[in-house]
Amino acid sequence: MTTVFDFTVNDIHGQAKSLADYRGQVLLVVNVASQCGFTPQYTGLQSVYERYHERGLEILGFPCNQFGHQEPGSNEQIEQFCETRFSVGFPLFSKLDVNGTGADPLYKHLKHAAPGILGSERIKWNFTKFLVSKDGSRVTRFAPNTKPEELVSAIEAALNA
């Protein structure tokens, strides 16, 4: 069975990163954008990261420019924005597509593993969140308007599983 840990993505500096490096950790995978109404969720994501990282949570941020062109910057600009504006300490990755023919294979997998409303696999907007179990067998999708703080019970359950 294919899991998230079978994929390789590029980090924010363009270097290949195997997600197998995160095996055994709970992952929160989020498509992010710098100029979105949900951008302030970076604060909540960083807070949740600081609270649960030592217990085995890893947050992975994937910039995406497919929704209202709200992530127009380069990877370098995105990284600088996240560090200076929100003190983001969780890993960021290279900008990618989450929908369409050019969708990254990781996102194709996540969307299939955890479809949205009415079984739709399409990502509706920035800050859609996928919570992945330690072994990669369970993936749960959360809507963009679900604040990171609202995921605490699901994160704790995944960490304790």
What's the confidence (pLDDT) of residue 65? 97
The DSSP element (H or E) to which 44 belongs, if any, is helix 41-52
Quote the number of domains for the chain.
1
Stretch 111-126: mean pLDDT: 91
Between the CA of residue 59 and those of 62, 125, 152, what are the distances in Å?
10, 18, 13
> Distance between CA 54 and CA 52 in Å, rounded?
6
Q: What is the mean pLDDT of the segment spanning 18-30?
A: 98
Active site residues per annotation: 36
What residues does 131 pair with on adjacent strands? 28, 140
The per-residue pLDDT of the chain, averaged, comes to 96
pLDDT at 119: 85
Q: Name residue 130's beta-bridge partners.
A: 29, 141
In which band, very low, low, confident or very high, does the pLDDT at 117 lie, cut at 50, 70 and 90?
Answer: confident
Burial class (CB in 10 A: 0-12, 13-18, 19+), 69: exposed
- pLDDT tens profile 120-151: 899 999 999 999 999 999 999 999 999 999 99
Is pLDDT above 90 for 69? yes
In 3D space, the residue among 17, 18, 15 whose CA is nearest the CA of residue 3 turns out to be 18
* Residue 11 DSSP symbol: B
**For position 4, what pLDDT does the model report?**
96
Distance of CA 13 to the CA centre of its chain: 17
- Residue ranges making up the domain that contains 85: 4-160
Question: Position of tokens 């109404």?
Answer: 37
Mean pLDDT of 66-94: 96
CATH number for the domain that contains residue 122: 3.40.30.10
Calculate mean pLDDT across residues 73-82.
96
| Radius of gyration of the CA atoms of the chain, in A | 14
**pLDDT tens sequence across 45-65:** 999 999 999 999 999 999 999
Using alpha carbons, select from 76, 66, 83 the residue that is nearest to residue 11: 76
Mutual orientation of helices 41-52 and 75-86 as an angle, nearest 10°?
80
